[in-house]
Amino acid sequence: MPHKLDLGDLDASFSGRLLTDPSDLAPFLTDWRRKWTGRAQAVAQPDTTDDVAAIVRWCAARGVPMVPQGGNTSLSGGSVPDQSGAALVLSLVRLNRIRSVDPQNNTLVAEAGCLLSEVQRCAADAGRLFGLSLAAEGSCTIGGNLATNAGGTATLLYGNAREQCLGIEVVTPAGEVWNGLKALRKNNTGYDLRDIYIGAEGTLGVITAAVLRLHPKPGGRALGFVALESLPQANALLDISRNRVSNRLSAFELVSETCLGSVLRHHPAQRHPLARRYPWYALIEVSDVEGFEQASLALNRLLQDASERDIVCDGVIADSLGQVSALWALRENISEAQGREGPTIKHDIALPISSIPGFVESTMATIAQRWPSIRLFIFGHLGDGNLHYNASPAPGMDHTAFLMLEPELNQFVHDAVYAANGSISAEHGLGVLRREEAARYATPIELELQRAIKRALDPHNIMNPGKVIFPGFAGGSLS
Amino acid sequence: MPHKLDLGDLDASFSGRLLTDPSDLAPFLTDWRRKWTGRAQAVAQPDTTDDVAAIVRWCAARGVPMVPQGGNTSLSGGSVPDQSGAALVLSLVRLNRIRSVDPQNNTLVAEAGCLLSEVQRCAADAGRLFGLSLAAEGSCTIGGNLATNAGGTATLLYGNAREQCLGIEVVTPAGEVWNGLKALRKNNTGYDLRDIYIGAEGTLGVITAAVLRLHPKPGGRALGFVALESLPQANALLDISRNRVSNRLSAFELVSETCLGSVLRHHPAQRHPLARRYPWYALIEVSDVEGFEQASLALNRLLQDASERDIVCDGVIADSLGQVSALWALRENISEAQGREGPTIKHDIALPISSIPGFVESTMATIAQRWPSIRLFIFGHLGDGNLHYNASPAPGMDHTAFLMLEPELNQFVHDAVYAANGSISAEHGLGVLRREEAARYATPIELELQRAIKRALDPHNIMNPGKVIFPGFAGGSLS
């Protein structure tokens, strides 16, 4: 147990809330997936950027490690403290103002603790669209989205969180404020400090606010659900889609029959949209600024083209908002349905799109042979090369035995990912879940460059220690 | 004069060419604008990444500063050595292979010395488009484009060089090779090393190759040239354009009557496209994957809408490829025409688009009053907030007297840019031209963060010293 600090002077140093009661702390100490529970000295909830700076200075002076936290929805354990009890959790949920909206510049400035759904709503109120969209949008914060460079279903059109951010405000580990809130699309006046902090998972400083890009609101969206015999067909359909509708293609999601079957099994109210089952399905969404009719026309034409070339076996185009929701629900309920099949081993991988068919075919074959009692749930954002390559126990398999396979299954899948020049963390970050693997797969020069950056910007390793590729604060010093 | 090195062992350490004859060196020592001429020990032209690494190791061991150079088209003096004669110029023009093209993944891998036009051509041969486009494309290299995060006329649709790059290969100042050539759209496995090197102007390492994003080829483009009474009208037209054609808007360029008048004066073969003159003009380009007809229809509709709202006074839509070229030439010949008006003082600024009308009105008024003999040439990429805010002497003004005004005019314009939270270098980088100004305008924390990065990644300040915000190698040590 670390030395207990006198928190009274910390409490006096900022406006906002300081939580110290164990029952108040609890929700901040366990992650979203309930895989990690840590301990902390306290949870500080500052009201302003200056409050954040005051808290950080207080911690820096005492060597107290800090764990920045937004909506605590990390899937990789990135937002909870370790078990040493040394850390202060820096919860940014009260830093939740939209500072300004500039529709003519297509930007808004949001504080880190704004919910993603609130940012979306403010953009919509200004007649614009904020392009980041993901399952946790009602709970996650924009600060967390930027700290982890979140992805989601609209990445194909609008990019990751990184591409949707023009500028940021950061509190450094010394408690200084860097105001990088430039609402500019072109700016070459020195090093790209912004992108060093985006995706750094709070290990270099605390993002307190951001300038976000807005886009015109699509006038309408058309959604198709199609059947595919194989993954090469899925790639061929993606290719046709891009070439026919270009940047009106707003989603291209892949769903395996195993995934769809599980969703239908656990959600009896949902129905299979087609007359029979196929190995793979794709959800294709076309957005058009002019309206639904144009989007629908473009989608129809491209599917007709694909059908004439025997790429698509069967399909349906949503003809009502209700059907749009029903089709999207088939994709969105996969994670939840898979959770009902027992424990889950998840892989959030990215590959060059051209490599995906070969990768999936060869890894599925090996897994079927080596671990016949594992069922694979493969789905995700094929349009940007990001697959959720998940595993569940086959019916009847012992759950503990299944979970014992996790290290070797991870290694098998991730070795194959690296062999294909892919990524073992496409959109979920490293957190603690992938820290050791990421450090193992990184080349020596990659480790050296990252350590050099960390040493330069957080020399005392007090910002979110033990995350990304770095050792925990309690566990040792930064080498 | 620095100590002369024995270049024989350098020559033996790599394949490629080593130029030492003064007449061979000359073209590498003077910049594109002929503002800076430096000296160098030699010019090395490696054939491969390993050659680059060998040269860098040789230099690092001897403390020889290196100036990476691509097409030597920098407008800010970023690619030439200083006058100490200590440096080696590292010319990457022989590192010019397209390593691979993956149309299904919409990527290609190009070496740093590939001409931008060659990358565009290879993409086109694969049925794709590479989205970077700028005046020097036949002379500049992709390595230089990335090192300076180049912009250009297609930024509105495809982004700057940074957004068009998925991964890079870098030789570090210690001569190690970092292979970051991931052809992935999602990858969150540690710090974003890629974006640290992009835009760093060769001061942290040498970019030797890059994975570049490709896009579907537009089926057709429609181009309009319209007259505007004021800049608020230009912004209103931009707003309507975005909302009506969204991401089919591929260019929105602003041209002042002064600029157009100069082009017509110096290019008598070119004709004013409209019956009379107006204060401002805009070139609007709509690209559509389906073809010219769709693009033209969309452009017609949006201009009709703008005309009905009295935003556009007059205009013409190109009805032939010849007319497209003729209209684009009015924009593209501005820099050259301005050059014929005498010496030029250039400002490459970016502002929030909503601030541009107020900024231009107030600065023009002040300049007219304080420096009545200065003529302003204002044009540029209004769609992404980037203006070229240039000055020429009015007819009859003494050229030397005009150039004496440069420091105070720069300060006036750039002070106003900073007051509007803009950038004094939108797409041309800092080089030596803006080094001191950038350092002066940067906040102490911005300087500190950039110096920390520089110290971490180039501790001996041997990579392109004297550029960005850093002191010259000969001029002193890094503070």
Put simply, the answer to whether A190 touches B468 (Cβ < 8 Å) is: yes
Q: Shortest Cα distance from B21 to chain A (angstroms)?
A: 34
Put simply, the answer to whether B190 touches A450 (Cβ < 8 Å) is: yes
Q: Which two tokens stand for residue B15?
A: 């394949």
Cα–Cα dist B87/B176, whole Å: 20
Give the torsion sign (CA, A99, B356, A186, A251): positive
- Provide the pLDDT for residue B476: 34
C-alpha to C-alpha distances, B190 to A144, A149, A162, A315, nearest whole angstrom? 15, 11, 14, 40
pLDDT < 70 positions in chain B: 1-3, 473-479
Element (H, E) at A180: strand A177-180
CA angle B91, B206, A166 (to 5 degrees): 125
pLDDT grade, residue A479 (50/70/90)?
very low
Cα–Cα dist A119/B290, whole Å: 34
Cα–Cα dist B324/B46, whole Å: 41
Is residue A450 predicted with pLDDT exceeding 70?
yes
Q: Do the Cβ atoms of A144 and A128 come closer than 8 Å?
A: no
- Provide the pLDDT for residue B2: 57
Closest partner residue to A456 (CB to CB) among B185, B239, B453 is: B453
- Provide the pLDDT for residue A3: 63
Closest partner residue to B242 (CB to CB) among A190, A216, A426 is: A216
Closest CA relative to residue B256, chosen from B232, B287, B241, B278: B278
Residue of A nearest to B440 (CA): A189
Closest CA relative to residue B116, chosen from B91, B90, B96, B94: B96
Closest CA relative to residue B176, chosen from B62, B58, B51, B57: B57
Give the torsion sign (CA, A184, A190, A192, A193): negative
3-state secondary structure of B389: strand
Q: Shortest Cα distance from B263 to chain A (angstroms)?
A: 26
- Provide the pLDDT for residue B3: 63
- Provide the pLDDT for residue B459: 96
Put simply, the answer to whether A430 touches B178 (Cβ < 8 Å) is: no
Put simply, the answer to whether A445 touches B162 (Cβ < 8 Å) is: no
Task: Report the percentage of chain A scoring pLDDT > 70.
Answer: 97
Residue of A nearest to B196 (CA): A192
Q: Shortest Cα distance from A159 to chain B (angstroms)?
A: 8
Which residue, chain included where needed, has tokens 């190791």? B57
Closest partner residue to A188 (CB to CB) among B182, B196, B425 is: B425
The Cβ of residue A272 has, within 10 Å, a number of other Cβ atoms equal to 14
Is residue A476 predicted with pLDDT exceeding 50?
no
Gap between the terminal Cα atoms of chain B:
24
Cα–Cα dist A137/A433, whole Å: 22
Cα–Cα dist A418/A420, whole Å: 5
Which residues does chain A have within 8 Å of residue B449's beta carbon, measured at their own beta carbons? 172, 178, 191, 193, 457
Q: Do the Cβ atoms of B209 and B109 come closer than 8 Å?
A: yes
Q: Which two tokens stand for residue B279?
A: 């204060």
Which residue, chain included where needed, has tokens 């839509």? B317
3-state secondary structure of A88: strand
pTM: 0.96
Closest partner residue to A468 (CB to CB) among B190, B216, B422 is: B190
- Provide the pLDDT for residue A471: 78
Give the range among A1-15, A208-222, A398-412, B120-134 with minimum mean pLDDT: A1-15
Put simply, the answer to whether A423 touches B155 (Cβ < 8 Å) is: no
User: Which are the contacts of B471, defined by CB distance < 8 A and separation ≥ 6?
Assistant: B461, B465, B477, B478, B479
Q: Shortest Cα distance from B122 to chain A (angstroms)?
A: 17
Put simply, the answer to whether B199 touches A193 (Cβ < 8 Å) is: no
Cα–Cα dist B330/B270, whole Å: 8
Tens of pLDDT along A148-202?
Answer: 999 988 899 999 999 999 999 999 999 999 999 999 999 999 999 999 999 999 9
Q: Which two tokens stand for residue A142?
A: 């924009």
Q: Report DSSP state, residue B3.
A: P
Residue of B nearest to A469 (CA): B190
Closest partner residue to A453 (CB to CB) among B151, B215, B456 is: B456
Put simply, the answer to whether B186 touches A456 (Cβ < 8 Å) is: no
Q: Shortest Cα distance from A379 to chain B (angstroms)?
A: 15
Tell me the residue type at A254.
Answer: L
Q: Shortest Cα distance from B398 to chain A (angstroms)?
A: 32
Which residues does chain A have within 8 Å of residue B384's beta carbon, measured at their own beta carbons? 185-186
Q: Do the Cβ atoms of A146 and A212 come closer than 8 Å?
A: no
